[in-house]
Structure 1
Amino acid sequence: MNKLIKKIAIVGPESTGKSTMSQLLANHYRVSWVPEYARYYCENLTGPYTLQDEVNMYYGQVALEDAILTVSEKDFIICDTTFVTVKIWSDEMLGETPQLVLDALPARPYDLYLLMDIDLPWQDDPLRDFPDKREYFMGVWHTELKALNARYEVIGGLGDLRFEHAVRAVDAFLSES
């Protein structure tokens, strides 16, 4: 894995445009992006997920990320979410987080997080659970990112304005690197 490649993570509560933003930014900068492994994993679940499922999602997300880092020829990659999501969902849904995830949080940092704001309208999706808890989860994201001492920017706005805000944040980060 090439540690010289910077990782920019697109994170936030459900239905805030993370996947769309990840793809738009990757296309804009002509860099690789890491899809959200949990989406693929959860599409195939036949019952309620367990702590082992969360561990599996952690390993899947990390494996995808490592694979992209291995083949990337650019200075940075875009990550559609991170395994911080595993911590948030484990805590919320199962009341605990697997220790390997807790251990990995400080050991596998991201260089910049773009925290997508909840100013977009909710979009129904069979894999989304909490349309009424978006403010709560936005607060959880702030708490988790601060606990990691992470560099992050909140990205808001509708349509092209949201994308422009994200590009401005990435450009500012890249100009300092």
Structure 2
Amino acid sequence: MFKVAIVGVEATGKSTLAENLAKHYQTIWVREYAREYLTRLDRKYTFDDVLTIAQGQQRLITKAIAQNPSLPIIFVDTELLVTHIWCEYVFGRHHSWIAENLSKQNFDLYLLCNTDLPWEYDVLREQPSLEKRKEIHKLYEFYLRKLHFPYELIEGKAEQRLLSAVQAIEKHFKFSDKNFQNGDKV
């Protein structure tokens, strides 16, 4: 099974891309746990909430892989790199659990969504400034290189973004479309 992580700054189309790729390849995608968690939270999130989110995301990923071992590919909407950078940028420090487990991740490919989409308001989003979003994007590039994680930059709007991602996937993996099963979010 190929495991593809979709990462990047907020409002770069990660969730939409994960869902669209799952439909394209007729497989599953693992949703972003942070959105679910923060929507239920009745206060401002804390440093420790980000750890809880990271651990919740890891549980979803582990469960999806365990329940679908015969799938040729799955997509994951955010993972530990996202929470690691989130902690660094918002709180100026890292959780040791996230840092330790980040280095052990084994995704076959990371799709790094660029900041070329316009920021759209969402109650959970915090960074409308394109300058700050580009600054955070540079952190993604830094860590992907530092950790030697294979990645491709994904750009474009709507269909072009999906096409960019499909081309990146086809560049890295060889598999037959007939192996894919019905796709949905888990």
TM-score (norm 1): 0.93
Equivalent in the alignment of 1:96: 93
Q: Which amino acid aligns with 2:89?
A: E
Deviation at 1:83, TM superposition (A): 1.6
Percent identity over the alignment?
35
Q: Which amino acid aligns with 2:148?
A: N
Q: Which amino acid aligns with 1:137?
A: I
Equivalent in the alignment of 1:24: 20
Q: 1:106, 1:170 → 2: CA distance?
A: 22
Q: In the alignment, which of 29, 34, 37 is matched to residue 33 of structure 1?
A: 29
Q: 1:138, 1:94 → 2: CA distance?
A: 17
Q: In the alignment, which of 73, 77, 80 is matched to residue 76 of structure 1?
A: 73
Equivalent in the alignment of 2:45: 49
Deviation at 1:32, TM superposition (A): 1.3
Q: 1:147, 1:134 → 2: CA distance?
A: 20
Instruction: State the Cα deviation string for residues 113-168 of structure 1 (Å, max 9, x = none).
Output: 01111111111101000111111111111011111111100011112111111111
Q: Which amino acid aligns with 1:84?
A: L
Q: In the alignment, which of 79, 84, 96 is matched to residue 87 of structure 1?
A: 84
Q: 2:12, 2:66 → 1: CA distance?
A: 29
Q: Which amino acid aligns with 1:55?
A: L
Equivalent in the alignment of 2:142: 143
Equivalent in the alignment of 1:155: 154
Q: In the alignment, which of 115, 119, 122 is matched to residue 122 of structure 1?
A: 119
Q: 2:123, 2:165 → 1: CA distance?
A: 27
Greater than 3 Å deviation, 4+ residue runs: none
Greater relative CO (CA pairs within 8 A, separation 6+): 2
- Structure 2 stretches lacking a partner, 5+ long: 176-186
Deviation at 1:175, TM superposition (A): 2.2
SS in 2 for 1:107: coil
SS in 2 for 1:10: strand
Q: In the alignment, which of 109, 127, 131 is matched to residue 128 of structure 2?
A: 131
Equivalent in the alignment of 2:181: none
The number of residue pairs the alignment matches comes to: 172
- Structure 1 stretches lacking a partner, 5+ long: none
Deviation at 1:85, TM superposition (A): 1.1
Q: Which amino acid aligns with 1:60?
A: G
Q: 2:111, 2:105 → 1: CA distance?
A: 17
- The answer as to whether partners of 2:89 and 2:136 remain within 8 angstroms in 1 is no
